[in-house]
Structure 1
Amino acid sequence: MTPNSRIASILMASLLVLTACGRGGGDERAPEPNDRAVAKVQDQTIWASDVKREAVAQGLIGEGEPLDVTSDLFRRVLDEVIDQKLLAREAERRGLDNSPLAERRLQATRERILGDMLVETVVNGAISDQAVQTLYQEQLRLARTSEEIRVRLILSRTKPEADAVIGILGQGASFEAVAMERSVDEATRFSGGDLGYSTLDVMPQAYANALRDRPAGSTVGPFQTEGGWAVLRVEDRRKESPPTLEQARPQIVRYLTYEGVRRLLEQLRGKAKVDVMLSADGAAPAQEPASAPAAAPPSQVAQPAPAGTPAQ
């Protein structure tokens, strides 16, 4: 984390601490079962769950991953949480939390957190093992209809060069050796032109069209592509190997979460009255926000020099 991003993280979290301080942050009860007090700033306890939540917010660990209280990472994040509380207390002492702008920012932060908690409660709570398993089985069904193709490539700059490659291969030369000697594709030439296994739907259209019905062992081309003239060899064709359930689970959970949030927002927008106050062309009225800095008086604004006046 860069120094600027660390400071930004501390300042954002300090806003949250200000809210907690305003509600009496000296509660000694553990916020979670088996939680552990790890530090104290004046009369406010810092719990292990506070540190872990901050580590998750910074993307240092994933949701649900453990964080050892004896690790260097835990201690580093703990120091940041202490800094957050010290900054928040000082801001509170100076009365910075009492301004209308501070109240609006704190309210926006509170609403963001409450929205996240609603998603965790309503959406994430509805993502069952059965829902994950059902979607995984659907992916398996689709995967059984897909085929992976392993291909090697020799890429030439011109068609005459590609025709010469076909002639050399026709004399019995090894495709891998010719690829290493003549292919201009730096990404694959030193592996004998090996492109690995992939499905037709993710290949460039020119490759997919050329390979669609070609059996293993075929030499295809030359044909023109964006990078030059290609000659391909089909090494193997096989049914696509689907990921295991555990490999696919994170992606499935993300998809189900996205769909759950989308449906929830559709329901909420359907029940609520929402007025978007923009002009017909979509632009907001040309007006400075209340928090914008005041304009300089006319006497302080530099006036253009009369024509012909020498520059100072």
Structure 2
Amino acid sequence: MATHKAYLSALFVAGALALAGCGKAGVNERPPERGDQAVARVDGRTVWASDVKREAVAQGLIGQGEPLDPSSDMFRRVLDEVVDQKLLAAEALERKLDNDPAAQRRLAAARERILGDILVESVVADAVNDNAIRGLYQEQLKQAKRSEEIRARQIVLASASDAEAVRRLLAAGAAFDAVAAERSTDVASRFNGGDLGYFTLDVMPDAYDAALKGAKVGDVVGPFQVESGWVLLKVEDRRLEAPISLEQARPQIVRFLTYDRIRDLLEKLRSRSKVETLVKNESTAPSPPADAPKGAAAVQGGRP
């Protein structure tokens, strides 16, 4: 069940949507959306699956367009909240609370907010489509700088003499992975033959960077000293870092295109409207006196 605060908020939003049609509706109402499903009735008025999904999106439980299984616990919980909202809104109308001037202003504000959301959804739906997403993805691919990835194995030894002995053993033909499993002191990598997987040099200690620069596939480099001991490395592969896939990039691209389109819309609306701000901006702190100690302005501005 929703909290008391959520109920009060839902009361006025529901009222804004229901003022014109709060009477009982027949059981043969048409679904508001194609494929919609009736999931409950409150005093004869149908509650649709789309109503529940819309509330789940508003609460941040699912994203816009994500499915919500009517058989799930989440759906049932949100359905109960939607039913409660309708009951509260109907009771408020029964008590004629919507006639109060303050209530009417809140209902009008809720209506404006909902209309604004509908406009944004409509504009964004036209602008944020597969062609736009793919176009921006391809543009970003051209501009992206791909780092080199290296795959290497390592053997970590406790001393320089141990490392030198292992280096000679490898030079004599011993298998690097077998020696790593037997002799390396690095627990994290020894049990998979010292395999470090693919990495970029910027995430490794400076000693690895220095040792691997110029090393070719198949080279064994080292020993060199690090904090954990003495290291020998074998270069298994070098390649360019794989670019992010379209599906991985899609959420960020959608957010960018959405923000960009909304910004353009608001700039256009403001440019053709007269907006007057009648209150002074109090965020600018007054300048400190000339003899104030250093840092006083920052403190007055609310910053540490």
TM score, norm. by length of structure 2: 0.65
The amino acid that maps onto 2:131 is: Q
SS in 2 for 1:182: coil
- Tell me the distance in 2 between the aligned counterparts of 1:255 and 1:205: 35
Partner of 2:17: 20
The amino acid that maps onto 1:237 is: R
- Tell me the distance in 1 between the aligned counterparts of 2:149 and 2:106: 52
The aligned runs of 1:1-312 (5 Å cut-off) are 9-26=6-23, 28-94=29-95, 96-99=97-100, 102-142=103-143, 145-151=146-152, 166-167=163-164, 169-172=166-169, 174=176, 177=180, 182-183=185-186, 194-199=195-200, 203=203, 206=206, 210=210, 213-216=214-217, 217=219, 219=221, 222=224, 233=233, 234-272=235-273, 273=275, 275=277, 277-279=280-282, 281=284
SS in 1 for 2:46: strand
The amino acid that maps onto 2:123 is: V
- Tell me the distance in 2 between the aligned counterparts of 1:178 and 1:91: 74
The amino acid that maps onto 2:14 is: V
Q: Give yes or no for contact 2:22–2:90 (8 Å, CA) kept in 1.
A: no
- CA apart distance, 1:51: 1.5
Quote the sequence identity (%).
Answer: 50
- CA apart distance, 1:141: 3.4
Partner of 1:293: none
Cα RMSD, aligned residues only: 4.3
- CA apart distance, 1:23: 2.9
The amino acid that maps onto 1:23 is: A
Q: Give yes or no for contact 1:36–1:48 (8 Å, CA) kept in 2.
A: yes
Instruction: Check 1:58–1:281 CA distance in 2 against 1; reply closer, same or farther (3 A cut).
Output: closer
Partner of 1:307: none
The amino acid that maps onto 2:284 is: D
- Tell me the distance in 2 between the aligned counterparts of 1:100 and 1:163: 85
Instruction: Check 1:236–1:108 CA distance in 2 against 1; reply closer, same or farther (3 A cut).
Output: farther
TM score, norm. by length of structure 1: 0.64
Partner of 1:299: none
More divergent stretch after superposition (62-71 vs 95-104): 95-104
- Tell me the distance in 1 between the aligned counterparts of 2:61 and 2:48: 18
More divergent stretch after superposition (104-113 vs 258-267): 104-113
- Tell me the distance in 2 between the aligned counterparts of 1:94 and 1:154: 79
- Tell me the distance in 1 between the aligned counterparts of 2:164 and 2:112: 69
**Residues 111-142 of structure 1 deviation map (CA, whole Å, 9 limit, x = unaligned):** 44333322211123112322222222234435
The amino acid that maps onto 2:51 is: D
- Tell me the distance in 2 between the aligned counterparts of 1:112 and 1:101: 17
- Tell me the distance in 2 between the aligned counterparts of 1:106 and 1:145: 53
- Tell me the distance in 1 between the aligned counterparts of 2:207 and 2:22: 63
- Tell me the distance in 2 between the aligned counterparts of 1:219 and 1:20: 72
Q: Give yes or no for contact 2:55–2:82 (8 Å, CA) kept in 1.
A: yes
- Tell me the distance in 1 between the aligned counterparts of 2:14 and 2:271: 34
**Residues 204-263 of structure 1 deviation map (CA, whole Å, 9 limit, x = unaligned):** 684895456544445468577xx8789584442113333444444333222222222233
Q: Give yes or no for contact 1:143–1:241 (8 Å, CA) kept in 2.
A: no
Q: Give yes or no for contact 1:30–1:36 (8 Å, CA) kept in 2.
A: yes
